[in-house]
């Protein structure tokens, strides 16, 4: 199943959307480079902002995905690019040979073609592009340490906003979204639907070569490990599922209220870089109350964290408008 | 010589590991030279790297383990990692 959600290949993306009577919107200032299967970055330029599609699907998918992500952050939250100040968006495609990865290197996007056995072209999934560029957003905002629970939160916000980029591009409500990261990325024959599922962590794949999706959905399954920087891609399933539960409870477009709350926490300047799950949970409850008052949004956030086993007491104290820094930052023990 | 590579991280988060025994291989001298270079150039403590970058732990016999991360790999590290992951078991 091909990835979906990005602008149609070959089409000129509709972003930034024109707004009659207003000053011209900022543009993504995209530049796509061809790595020519080498490891030297960035490589020769093959497409720039506003230029026509080229005869290379990876180039055009990367271009469109960068545009979708730029448009999402601008339209949903008024954010100009990953740094909030219009940082040009650069990407290199065809990095390495059969390279099974995509990453944000602190300055630009890097995409591999996939080995065709486990993974396909990484430019094909708009939520992957949104995920990686959100690592840039995090770098310029909360700058969550990439290890342990703060690292899992770093991964989780990339999954959350990566999925929201796709939902926004497709105009989907929470109940219609697939809530998958890497839908269609798995090569033919691999048993699975994606890399991760925010709706049902631990169910994305079960394959003889790839293994079984190891993500827990709640603290009962928390993985205490030194691998993967302390399980940053593993335990991210817990905050991922909390976001899904909050968004699903609120309904409608997930980026509008649940996403706004998460965005307020990520960019609010108060979340410590070593925040753990409990600190993040409390911060989302505080953000919900600050933006929407003690209503449905706050209740949805509190219930979501309670369901995944994080932040017992967040609800009562947040509702009362108090915040105990000692409790917020206390290490959380796996259930 | 036995060389083990463990790769984790990456956007997938899927760990991959393989080991290669050079005994009897015609290219053993070349691989041994690569391994010696990697042991001397790598760091002895793991680092966190960039988000979603691959992390590698390379172990050569009992001589020790070195760590490296994408995208800051030397040519030797990249060659050895590629060889072990492609031809190891």
Assess A234–B contact: CB distance below 8 Å, yes or no.
yes
Q: Is residue B47's pLDDT more than 90?
A: no
Write out the two tokens for A216. 């827990």
Interchain proximity B12–A233, CB inside 8 Å: yes
Q: In chain A, whose CA is at the least distance from the CA of B78?
A: A39
State the greatest distance between any 2 C-alpha atoms of chain A, in Å, as a whole number: 59
What is the percent of chain B where pLDDT is above 90? Answer: 83
Write out the two tokens for B64. 């020790």
Q: How many CA atoms lie within 13 A of A294 on its CB side?
A: 8
Residues of chain A with C-beta less than 8 angstroms from the C-beta of B13: 155, 195, 228, 232-234
CA distance B6 to chain A (A): 10
pLDDT score at B35 = 95
pLDDT score at B46 = 83
Q: What structural domains does chain A harbor?
A: 30-139 (3.10.170.10), 148-328 (1.10.390.10)
Mutate to test the interface with A, among B13, B49, B69 (most CBs of A within 10 A): B13
Each residue of A114-146: pLDDT tens digit? 999 999 999 999 999 999 999 999 999 999 999
User: β-pairing, A30-34 with A89-93?
Assistant: parallel
Angstrom distance (rounded) from CA B44 to CA B68:
9
Write out the two tokens for A183. 């839908």
Q: Would you call A67 helix, strand, or coil by DSSP? A: helix
Each residue of A43-80: pLDDT tens digit? 999 999 999 999 999 999 999 999 999 999 999 999 99
Interchain proximity A146–B15, CB inside 8 Å: no
Q: Would you call B66 helix, strand, or coil by DSSP? A: strand
DSSP state of A333: P
Residues of chain B with C-beta less than 8 angstroms from the C-beta of A132: 11, 51-52
Strand A30-34: give its sheet, edge to edge. Answer: A45-48, A30-34, A89-93, A109-111, A102-104
Residues of A that are catalytic: 132, 233
Q: Is residue A207's pLDDT more than 80?
A: yes
This complex has an ipTM of 0.92
Residues of chain A with C-beta less than 8 angstroms from the C-beta of B73: 39
């Amino acid at each position: 199943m091909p990835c979906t959600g990005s602008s149609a290949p070959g089409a000129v993306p509709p972003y930034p959307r024109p707004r009659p009577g207003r000053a011209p919107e900022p543009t993504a200032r995209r530049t796509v480079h061809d790595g020519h299967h080498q490891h030297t970055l960035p490589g020769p330029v093959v497409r720039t902002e506003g230029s026509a599609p080229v005869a290379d699907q990876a180039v055009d998918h990367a271009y469109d995905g960068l545009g979708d992500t730029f448009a999402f952050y601008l339209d949903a939250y008024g954010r100009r690019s990953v740094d909030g100040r219009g940082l040009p968006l650069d990407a290199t495609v065809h990095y390495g040979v059969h390279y099974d990865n995509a990453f944000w290197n602190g300055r630009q996007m890097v995409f591999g073609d996939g080995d065709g056995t486990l993974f396909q072209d990484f430019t094909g999934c708009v939520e992957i592009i949104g995920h990686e560029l959100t690592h840039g957003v995090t770098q310029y905002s909360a700058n969550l340490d990439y290890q342990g629970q703060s690292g899992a939160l770093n991964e989780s916000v990339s999954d959350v906003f990566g999925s929201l980029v796709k939902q926004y591009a497709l105009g989907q409500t929470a109940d219609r979204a697939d809530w998958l990261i890497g839908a269609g990325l798995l090569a033919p024959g691999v048993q699975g639907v994606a890399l991760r599922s925010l709706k049902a962590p631990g169910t994305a794949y079960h394959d003889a070569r790839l293994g079984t999706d190891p993500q827990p959905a709640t603290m009962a399954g928390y993985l205490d490990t030194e691998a993967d920087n302390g399980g940053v891609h593993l335990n991210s399933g817990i905050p991922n599922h909390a976001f899904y539960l909050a968004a699903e409870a609120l309904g409608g477009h997930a980026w509008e209220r649940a996403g706004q709350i998460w965005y307020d926490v990520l960019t609010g300047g108060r979340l410590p870089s070593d925040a753990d799950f409990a600190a993040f949970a409390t911060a989302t409850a505080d953000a919900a109350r600050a933006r929407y008052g003690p209503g449905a949004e706050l209740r949805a956030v509190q219930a979501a964290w309670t369901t995944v086993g994080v932040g017992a007491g967040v609800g009562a104290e947040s509702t009362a408008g108090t915040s105990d820094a000692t409790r917020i930052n206390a290490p959380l023990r796996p259930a | 010589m036995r060389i083990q590579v463990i790769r984790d991280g990456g956007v997938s988060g899927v760990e991959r590991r393989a080991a290669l025994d050079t005994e009897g291989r015609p290219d053993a001298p070349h691989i041994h030279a690569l391994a010696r270079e990697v042991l001397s150039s790598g760091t002895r403590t793991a680092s966190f790297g960039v988000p979603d970058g691959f992390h590698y732990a390379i172990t050569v016999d009992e001589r020790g383990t070195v760590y490296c991360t994408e995208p800051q790999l030397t040519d030797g590290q990249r060659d050895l990692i590629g060889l072990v992951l492609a031809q190891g078991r």
